[in-house]
């Protein structure tokens, strides 16, 4: 595989002495030219299987409101899923929500390792360096989820969700705050759960280092528009000020 035309990640340092680190592993939907779109149409790549719709925009608004540091992944989760361990079958996935990913099927071990080396490893090595150097008071990954999966057709009613493993106190504090809004249905460790063998940022960069870390999920139809992105960034900024360290802008 050839060298990348753009970096695997973008990192924005904290402003105004804010000690919280935001991450957005599924922000991007780029696919390097030599992978030929992984054999998918643009419509498929633009679906939720290719990226977390609205997540990057929410993160940028949230950083502007709070001064938090921000670490963003630039390439599609279909190239390599940055929130999966490198040895997980889901790190380079062959089928996502019923869609076959032709460019990921039948990869040799060397081809798979090339993906890990060029995309997964640089992202997490730099993120680990940032975490160890800055020692954030909390890590807050921002993700979004589809209102319904093609694979099961079950509607997901939650407007947002808070996922946590070791940081139960922080997670429950965030949930209590979000439930104070009458118009928000909040999920707790649903529609996903954080599992050490399946997830990466929270258990590895947060829990393993003793840094409180909770993952925020927002339903994608609520953050498809700029208005929705600003609205949810405002709600999360209020949550951060109420539930996370008091040095937020």
pLDDT tens digits, residue range 117-137?
Answer: 999 999 999 999 999 999 999
Confidence (pLDDT) at 6: 83
- For the chain, give the DSSP string: -PPPSS-SEEEE--STT--EEEEETT---B--GGGGGGG--HHHHHSTTTS-TTHHHHHHHHHHHH--EEEEE-B-TTT--TTS-TTSTTTT-SEETTEE-GGGTT--HHHHHHHIIIIIHHHHHHHHHHHHHH--SEEEEEEEE-SB-TTT--B---SEEEE-SS-HHHHHHHHHHHHTSTT--EEES-S----TTT--IIIIIIGGGT--B-EEEEEGGGSSSHHHHHHHHHHHHHHHHHHS-S---
Report CA dihedral (27, 140, 187, 178) to the nearest 10 degrees: -120
| Mean pLDDT, range 51-61, rounded to an integer | 98
Confidence (pLDDT) at 153: 85
Confidence (pLDDT) at 248: 53
Burial 61-71 (b: 16+ CB within 10 A, else e): bbbebbbbbbb
pTM above 0.75, yes or no: yes
pLDDT tens digits, residue range 170-203?
Answer: 999 999 999 999 999 999 999 999 999 999 999 9
If you average pLDDT over every residue of the chain, what do you get? 95
Predicted confidence band of residue 151 (pLDDT cuts 50, 70, 90): confident
Confidence (pLDDT) at 14: 95
Confidence (pLDDT) at 17: 84
Confidence (pLDDT) at 16: 82
Predicted confidence band of residue 77 (pLDDT cuts 50, 70, 90): very high
- pLDDT of 107 above 90: yes
Going by C-beta distance under 8 Å and a sequence separation of 6 or more, which residues neighbour residue 241?
Answer: 66, 248
| Mean pLDDT, range 72-80, rounded to an integer | 98
Contact call for residues 104 and 45 (beta carbons, < 8 A): no
| Mean pLDDT, range 191-216, rounded to an integer | 97
| Mean pLDDT, range 61-86, rounded to an integer | 97
């Amino acid at each position: 595989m050839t060298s990348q035309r753009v970096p695997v990640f973008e990192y924005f340092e904290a402003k105004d002495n804010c000690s919280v680190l935001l991450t957005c592993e599924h922000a991007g939907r780029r696919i390097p030219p030599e992978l030929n779109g992984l054999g998918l149409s643009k419509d498929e790549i633009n679906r939720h299987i290719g990226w977390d719709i609205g997540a990057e925009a929410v993160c940028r608004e949230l950083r502007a409101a709070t001064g938090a540091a921000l670490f963003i992944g630039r390439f599609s989760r279909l190239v390599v899923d940055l929130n999966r361990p490198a040895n997980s079958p889901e790190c380079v996935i062959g089928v996502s929500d019923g869609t076959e990913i032709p460019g990921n099927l039948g990869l040799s071990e060397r081809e798979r390792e090339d993906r890990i080396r060029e995309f997964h490893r640089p992202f997490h090595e730099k993120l680990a360096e940032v975490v160890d150097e800055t020692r954030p008071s909390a890590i807050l990954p921002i993700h979004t989820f589809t209102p319904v999966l093609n694979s099961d057709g079950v509607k997901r009613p939650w407007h947002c969700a808070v996922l946590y493993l070791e940081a139960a106190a922080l997670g429950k504090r965030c949930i209590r705050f979000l439930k104070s809004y009458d118009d928000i249905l909040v999920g707790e460790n649903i529609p996903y759960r954080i599992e050490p063998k399946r997830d990466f940022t929270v258990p590895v960069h947060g829990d393993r280092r003793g840094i409180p870390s909770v993952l925020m999920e927002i339903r994608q139809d609520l953050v498809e528009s700029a208005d929705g992105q600003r609205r949810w960034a405002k709600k999360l900024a209020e949550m951060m000020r109420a539930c996370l360290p008091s040095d937020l802008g």
